[in-house]
Structure 1
């Protein structure tokens, strides 16, 4: 009995035993906002729910992206049963354009020193021309959306409007001072310290974050997401498209090679699939396909290089138009585009020249190769026939008039296994 009392006495001295706080899910996004990245972020919310996390932290660094994908992400955040913390990091990162809307929609917004956000003015993707009135409607719609998100989270509505109308940007320190974000943290450790005890209002009620001593669970992309993300990169999509066209063109100009044709078909399918994910100008895509057709016609039609020149111009213009004025993460840099166009054009021109030369060269074998060959008669050759020696072989031959033996002759036609000859003059 005394031992039992001593046990409870020492247990009381130790104090109450606290259970470990629920973990937090840490997600890193360093990419443009596309359907692939949107699905990745939405999958993290589902994963956090399954693992019983108290919150999910999105560490983002994005140049912007597509409005529809951004709306999908924002809707998921607004209806989330788990608090979403958006952390613009590491130093040097940005949350531009579409990233600004994600920050405004988050339950708690944080930034690392040396980062910035803003510049959310809408742009016409793929270089398409939109009249001023339509563009103003799009701008007003995005302004209303940004202001509503800022009002919902108690953030600076004036900045939300200026970010869209005037492409205003703020540093992390300015964003904290102007009530655009709530936390300025150098790293994940400081972020967790400043998140501890903060209250978050969700649809089902108020939640208090207990992040002190909480475990961070990393959320990584699965294989499918990695493949889709790789394919959705503009440089990869464009390179696959060029490789596909080059492979098919080589197969058509040199039938029987097989491997280039199969490789080209696979790359072309993957390239077109990637372009379906990305915002592209279909006029640019048609110009690129037209370039391949013109290169092929150069083999069949004698244009003295005009078709090849037109194909090269179409390839360059189509490549420039393909991704137009997309955000920096969704377009091709000139440092990548121009060398690829130069190499692909040189490849097409070389294959075209070789194929055209082969097609237009006089045959040197077979039935067509005998026409024009010279030889001599072995016997008397006339309308009734005779024998000639041509190309190291003895042939049956006939002629319109009688040719004596030993006379030099030239082959003018072939009828089955018999040659038609005439005397050399």
Structure 2
């Protein structure tokens, strides 16, 4: 009986420990130093602002002689180019890195996780489904898919993991026996990741991972984005970029439709500043792109104030403005543009903003006159003469009366009629000053006269 109890106790102990406690597999290749442990969160959408933040965090860790950088990952993915920038920064980091997947490392998040020296899963976490898609959720062209497969394969090889399993997260034609049959993208749970050699351990938290690595006694540095970085990340998000595009284009359109410089021009200026400034600071927009946009706006202003109508300046201004906005949405280096996929994504964003602007304009045009609170902003009723509306300054009582021209009528000028000084228009040729005139008709405030002998 005692032998049976001892055996049962060993079984229960093994179940209690489970696959989570594996310090031998989680141990780093080199002993940890005495420096601090940097904890960096990778959450939300993977974008260029996050990539810039991760670069800074790794630089700070290296400068501080950190013993370890722990990435707390919880993301459903984002931009491939931003994920690649983060991947390269982690792979080249002189400080050991560990990814702790807290719930999700989907799509671009899986690529980032693979770049770390060690990967720890929290129970219930998942990772995979890294196929590249466009903004509508459709699969990107094969050229982009091939590049994504190559990134996953190269990253897995660099960190000593099975490259075929990494590729299966991008390519559904790869069969992973017992996990992901052909025709399904690979997404692994914590236990599957441990069994397949993706995860080095399954632990309940980031603290448990730090303790298992033997770094619990080191100083803990919770690295956080600065306020400026958070603002830049907010302003640089694709959704807000689309709204700012609407602000710019809508403001320019309504400013062109109205004389002078007013509220619409201010809205366009604010939208341009909020769009270009964060993208420029993040290195996503270059100086020549901003200059191109400014020249386009300048041509539109010339069209409005110097050469009224719509001609070469107007067309050129529109082409330059839209072209500048398009290249600003593409992560180019100088005049070296990326693949057609990125250009197509930028074109889709710009086109979506234009469509939304048109729909918003049409909707407001119908809504404002019907709203009791907002119809003060527009002239809802038609103030026609048939409805009893007339000009505040009418001269119908002057018809048939005579007077004399005070100035020459070329054809307009001033006359004295019935003791009143009236602005008049001559019906015929030039009328010299002092000539007798007769009012032949009055149309609102316009008084038409002709010379009489």
Question: Do the aligned residues in 2 keep the contact of 1:381 with 1:397 (CA within 8 Å)?
Answer: no
Distance 2:365 2:247 in 1: 11
Instruction: Report what 1:150 is aligned to.
Output: 156
Alignment of 1:319-330 (within 5 A): none
Shift of 1:348: 5.6
Can you list the C-alpha shifts for 1:156-204, whole angstroms capped at 9, x where unaligned? 33321210102311122221222111122222221222222xxxxxxxx
What is residue 114 of structure 1 aligned with on the other side?
A: 124
**Residue from 158, 182, 197 that aligns with 2:200:** 182
CA–CA separation in structure 1 for the residues paired with 2:153 and 2:94: 23
- CA shift, 1:229, in A, is 0.5
1 CA distance for matches of 2:390 and 2:269?
A: 32
Cα drift, residue 109 of structure 1: 0.8
Q: Would you say the 8 A contact 1:245–1:268 is kept in 2?
A: no
Residue from 94, 107, 124 that aligns with 1:81: 94
Q: 1:128 to 1:184 in 2, by over 3 A?
A: closer
What is the root-mean-square deviation in Å for CA atoms of aligned residues?
A: 5.2
Q: Say whether residues 1:55 and 2:68 are aligned partners.
A: yes
Answer yes or no: is the 8 Å Cα contact 2:391–2:445 preserved in 1.
no
1:103 aligns with 2:113: yes
Measured at CA, do residues 217 and 363 of structure 1 come closer, stay the same or move farther in structure 2, by a change above 3 Å?
A: farther
Alignment length, in residue pairs? 329
- Do structure 1's residue 219 and structure 2's residue 223 form an aligned pair? yes
- Match for residue 234 of structure 1 among 221, 234, 238: 238
Name structure 2 gaps, 5 residues minimum. Answer: 1-32, 173-184, 286-295, 310-328, 331-340, 370-376, 410-414, 429-435
What CA distance in whole angstroms lies between the structure 2 residues aligned with 1:395 and 1:262? 38
Structure 1 unaligned segments of length 5 or more: list them.
1-19, 197-210, 280-288, 302-321
Give 1:133-282 correspondences, 5 Å limit: 135-166=141-172, 167-196=185-214, 211-256=215-260, 258-271=262-275
Q: Give the equivalent residue in structure 1 for 2:325.
A: none
C-alpha displacement of 1:342: 5.0
Contact 2:246–2:354 (CA<8 Å) still a contact in 1? Answer: no
Task: Kindly indicate whether the alpha-carbon contact (under 8 Å) linking 2:72 and 2:99 is maintained by their aligned counterparts in 1.
Answer: yes
- The structure 1 segments of at least 4 consecutive aligned residues displaced by more than 4 Å after TM superposition are 124-130, 272-279, 336-344, 348-358, 360-365, 377-382, 384-387, 392-400, 412-415
Between the aligned partners of 1:216 and 1:356, the Cα distance in structure 2 is: 64
Q: Could you tell me how far apart the structure 1 residues matched to 2:263 and 2:247 are? A: 13
Partner of 1:25: 38
3-state SS of 1:123 partner:
coil
User: 232-241 or 340-349, which moves further after superposition?
Assistant: 340-349
Query: Which string of whole-angstrom CA distances, capped at 9 and with x for unpartnered residues, describes residues 46-89 of structure 1?
Result: 10112221011111222223333222222222221100111122
Contact conserved, 1:237 with 1:275, CA < 8 A, in 2? no
Q: Give yes or no for the alignment of 1:388 onto 2:411.
A: no
Q: 2-side partners of 1:266 and 1:98: how far apart? A: 32
TM-score, normalization by structure 1: 0.61
In structure 2, C-alpha distance between the alignment counterparts of 1:150 and 1:398, rounded to whole Å: 89
Q: The residue matched to 1:158 in structure 2 has which SS?
A: helix
Deviation at 1:41, TM superposition (A): 0.8
| Structure 2 residue matching 1:109: 3-state secondary structure | strand
Counterpart of 1:65 (choices 70, 78, 88) is 78
Task: Tell me: CA distance 1:47–1:411, structure 2 relative to 1, closer, same or farther (3 Å).
Answer: same
Q: CA deviation at 1:144?
A: 3.6
CA distance in 1, matches of 2:58, 2:423: 84
Q: What secondary structure sits across from 1:61 in the alignment?
A: strand
